[in-house]
Structure 1
Amino acid sequence: MVSMVAVPCFAQSRVTLFGLIDEGFNYLSSAQTSRPATGPVGHSQYSLQDGATGGLGGSRWGLRGEEDLGGGLAAIFQLENGFSINNGALAQGGAEFGRQAWVGLRHDLGTVTLGRQYDPVVVFVQAFSAAAQWGGYLSAHPGDIDNLANTRRINNAVKYMSPVIRGFSFGAMYSLGGVPGSVGRNQVWSAGFGYSVANFGFGAGYLNARNPNFSFYGTNPNAGTAITSNNLGSAGSATSPEVSPIIAGYASANTVQIIATGISYQLGAATLGALYSNVQFRGLGNTSTSGPNPLGYSGSAIFNTGELNFKYQITPALTAGAAYTYTRDSGASDLGVSIYQQGSAGVDYLLSKRTDIYSIIVYQHASGTDSLGRPAVANIMGQTASANDHQVAVRLGIRHKF
């Protein structure tokens, strides 16, 4: 007699819990407290801030997992929540998984993912910036104009990433606008590539977002959905400060286009890096499908940003860095030019593989006329805009990864 027993076959799978907590003490030389007709009023500020606004990385926790489907194919996913350690509130405008939320398939031929994700500009260029290495959010380019500090995520996105072949990789993304009867409205598409070998690295990326007030700047749950909403910032009032005056006036752009490149070269313990980005708010004045235009702008506003950075590995546990950034906005219509110059420096010391302490200092100077048609004020990323043309931010922080 032969007995047969059916043994179920299960695919191998695993799920990993991960996270990071970043907290620190911040000093800001000038923060607007009001905006009366006579001009902005401000004072110095001392505060505790989560890493999302002034540190090396926003506090987060998440789950990532994969299941082996056989034949070199695997199902993968990532859910990543951002929060503020100061009050426990959800970050990214109240999204439960506001940092990332996607599912997909991975194969030797590449990876396809669907959901809320980072675009290829971030994937291929961000790593060359001072912000990604040692400078954090404070040292991001003014207004995070090129999104190299991950201020914006892309919703409803399909992304393909190639495998790395002899140091070369590439990727592309498309976000569906989802507007009935208008395929192109609110769509975002992006592509990029990178190359890394030995001590040399290079990356480039392109992003194009239609109706960016909603498709790019309005992707968090707390964003305005009415055509009169401005998700880029605010002109402030007699009782409130300006918000993102560097770009706040450009909500009516029909399209935003970002082109960015980065390069690095390592020489012993030293690493030299450089970045360039060109950001264009095109077709200003589209009040029917993009956003408000109270100043009556038309044409395009073009930002050109250059960064030079330096990192030195003093010991295996101690890293120091410095960077200089120059941003120029050509202005819209006859608005005139605004210029933002920024210098930053930082040190990071590893207490263990998972815990480090760090310090960052940033100085920014503004000149010309900003997007709100007013004398430009300094606005270090993540901080309240200054009441004048210069601003200093200092942070002492601690970060723990798990």
Structure 2
Amino acid sequence: MLRKCLSVGLGVACVSTAHAQSSVTLYGLVDLGITYLNSAQTGRSGGELNGKSQIAMSDGHATGLSGSRWGLRGTEDLGGGLQALFVLENGFMANTGSLAQGGAEFGRQAYVGLSSSRVATVTLGRQYDPLVDTVQQFAASGNWGGYMSSHVGDVDNLSNTNRINNSIKVALTPLAGLRAEALYSLGGVAGNATQNQIWSLGASYSGGAFSVGAGYLNARNPNVSFYGNTPNKGLATANNIGSFGSATTPQVLPAYAGFASANTLQIIGVGASYTIGAAAISAVATNTRFQGMGSASGPNPLGYTGNATFNSAELGVRYFITPGLLAGAAFDYTQRSSVKGDGGAKYMQVDLGMDYLLSKRTDAYVLTVLQRATGRDSLGQEAVANISGFTASATDNQVGVRIGLRHKF
């Protein structure tokens, strides 16, 4: 069977001449940069945290605009407005060549499904949840700010740190600017249909200059189902919630690492934006709750019970100085409720970014994040700053800077 391949947009399309209604596209991007951190923990001495400045190279997965990836996307026309489709998307670390997403071969996405142009698209596999699909677009981290502009530790998952395994997703065909989605992930536990289950809903509307979106996610036994669903994680006895990075160099997330025994994770998010010429103003609010601590698998060394709630708010603006030069700024505020009488914690953050288009496929950018923490963290210690993607600071302040280059293919 003869196949022809040609460059199309950001990918390469290969079409079978015997079945012209079928196609497969190869696509991807590489995002690599140099980062500076003013304070990274290096250990303790005399009970005090030690910290030093750090200069390193890192992939976009850690701190950049986009995680490096390659993928295959295919469709087949079945007739009557019905299509079969699939996506296999691999994430990798361009600075080392290693797999991202905890060592999963297709850790970003892996699904197959059917799509009707008149009704809905139904897909099965490892996928993005509706909360991410509908709210991420309004956050700095989903646009010009990169992963490092996430709310502390990406506690509300708006940077899509965690995908959903074993999921069935239904996305209604858009109607007059309105989109709606639902997802259910089977827990797969014999005798207990709700253990390890995840479900999520989302809806968005875009009309002219105004856009708005809202989403909800509920994960049972999140230490395993949500935070432990990659090859390098998953043990119920391990703390999958409060760590990231490779198996040899794990990084602790002190803001919520202590809440691994939660029975349920609940995230509610809403976002909106309004475009005025070359500028756009956006706002995001999220509520993240670790519920029923002490009643599910996961370590609980501090004996937490009850709930821990994180409320986050973000206000941002982005402006196209020229058609090829974008600047953005945002302010984030996250407050965690008191748990076991610790008084809670607060995280304030300023995000700054500039992105210059060298061509349609290549851009260079600079990102800067400044964060300050107060109160007590989930590990029972004085709260320290922890910009997403970086090692936690030794103090209550932290400054991160990244200069990056991104190429799409």
TM-score range, shorter chain: over 0.9
Residue in structure 2 matched with residue 161 of structure 1 by the alignment: 171
SS in 2 for 1:358: strand
Which of 198, 217, 240 in structure 2 is aligned with 1:231?
240
- Which deviations, in whole Å up to 9, do the C-alpha atoms of 1:221-252 show, x marking residues without a partner? 10041x32110126xxxxx9860001100000
Which of 388, 395, 405 in structure 2 is aligned with 1:381?
388
Deviation at 1:37, TM superposition (A): 5.9
- How many residues were matched structurally? 388
Larger proportion of strand = 2
Q: Are the aligned partners of 1:33 and 1:241 in contact in 2 as well (CA < 8 Å)?
A: no
Deviation at 1:36, TM superposition (A): 4.8
Residue in structure 2 matched with residue 367 of structure 1 by the alignment: 374
- Which deviations, in whole Å up to 9, do the C-alpha atoms of 1:181-233 show, x marking residues without a partner? 110000000001000001100000000000000011111110041x3211012
1:88-237 to structure 2, matched below 5 A, reads 88-108=97-117, 109-225=119-235, 227-233=236-242
CA distance in 1, matches of 2:187, 2:340: 29
Aligned AA (1:147): N
CA distance in 1, matches of 2:330, 2:166: 35
Residue in structure 2 matched with residue 237 of structure 1 by the alignment: none
CA distance in 1, matches of 2:28, 2:228: 26
Deviation at 1:21, TM superposition (A): 0.2
1:282-297 to structure 2, matched below 5 A, reads 282-286=291-295, 289-297=296-304
Which of 318, 325, 337 in structure 2 is aligned with 1:311?
318
Which of 328, 332, 336 in structure 1 is aligned with 2:339?
332
CA distance in 2, matches of 1:192, 1:290: 28
Query: Residues 122 and 360 (structure 1 numbering): CA distance in 2 closer, same or farther, change over 3 Å?
Result: same
CA RMSD of aligned residues (A): 1.5
Aligned AA (1:338): A
Deviation at 1:11, TM superposition (A): 6.7
Which of 13, 17, 40 in structure 1 is aligned with 2:49?
40
Q: Are the aligned partners of 1:270 and 1:311 in contact in 2 as well (CA < 8 Å)?
A: yes
CA distance in 2, matches of 1:261, 1:284: 25
CA distance in 2, matches of 1:154, 1:213: 13
Aligned AA (2:288): V
Q: Are the aligned partners of 1:32 and 1:242 in contact in 2 as well (CA < 8 Å)?
A: no
Query: Residues 172 and 350 (structure 1 numbering): CA distance in 2 closer, same or farther, change over 3 Å?
Result: same
Q: Are the aligned partners of 1:104 and 1:114 in contact in 2 as well (CA < 8 Å)?
A: yes
Q: Are the aligned partners of 1:11 and 1:67 in contact in 2 as well (CA < 8 Å)?
A: no
Q: Does 1:274 align with 2:283?
A: yes
Identity of aligned pairs, percent? Answer: 59
Query: Residues 57 and 242 (structure 1 numbering): CA distance in 2 closer, same or farther, change over 3 Å?
Result: closer
Q: Identify unmatched segments of 5+ residues in structure 1.
A: 1-7, 235-239
Query: Residues 210 and 36 (structure 1 numbering): CA distance in 2 closer, same or farther, change over 3 Å?
Result: farther
- Which deviations, in whole Å up to 9, do the C-alpha atoms of 1:14-66 show, x marking residues without a partner? 00000010011100000111145613211000001100001001100000000
Q: Does 1:245 align with 2:254?
A: yes
Q: Are the aligned partners of 1:40 and 1:241 in contact in 2 as well (CA < 8 Å)?
A: no
Deviation at 1:334, TM superposition (A): 1.6
Query: Residues 111 and 82 (structure 1 numbering): CA distance in 2 closer, same or farther, change over 3 Å?
Result: same
Deviation at 1:388, TM superposition (A): 0.6
CA distance in 2, matches of 1:55, 1:173: 28
CA distance in 1, matches of 2:32, 2:153: 22
Query: Residues 37 and 79 (structure 1 numbering): CA distance in 2 closer, same or farther, change over 3 Å?
Result: farther
Deviation at 1:10, TM superposition (A): 4.2
- Which deviations, in whole Å up to 9, do the C-alpha atoms of 1:336-371 show, x marking residues without a partner? 210000001010000000000000000000000011
Q: Are the aligned partners of 1:331 and 1:371 in contact in 2 as well (CA < 8 Å)?
A: no
Query: Residues 73 and 255 (structure 1 numbering): CA distance in 2 closer, same or farther, change over 3 Å?
Result: same
Aligned AA (2:51): G
Residue in structure 1 matched with residue 405 of structure 2 by the alignment: 398
Query: Residues 241 and 230 (structure 1 numbering): CA distance in 2 closer, same or farther, change over 3 Å?
Result: closer
Aligned AA (2:116): H
Q: Does 1:54 align with 2:63?
A: yes
Residue in structure 2 matched with residue 13 of structure 1 by the alignment: 22
Q: Which range moved further: 289-298 or 53-62?
A: 289-298
Q: Which range moved further: 240-249 or 136-145?
A: 240-249
Q: Does 1:86 align with 2:89?
A: no
SS in 1 for 2:148: helix
SS in 2 for 1:376: coil
Q: Does 1:265 align with 2:274?
A: yes
SS in 1 for 2:252: coil
Q: Are the aligned partners of 1:11 and 1:69 in contact in 2 as well (CA < 8 Å)?
A: no
SS in 1 for 2:143: helix
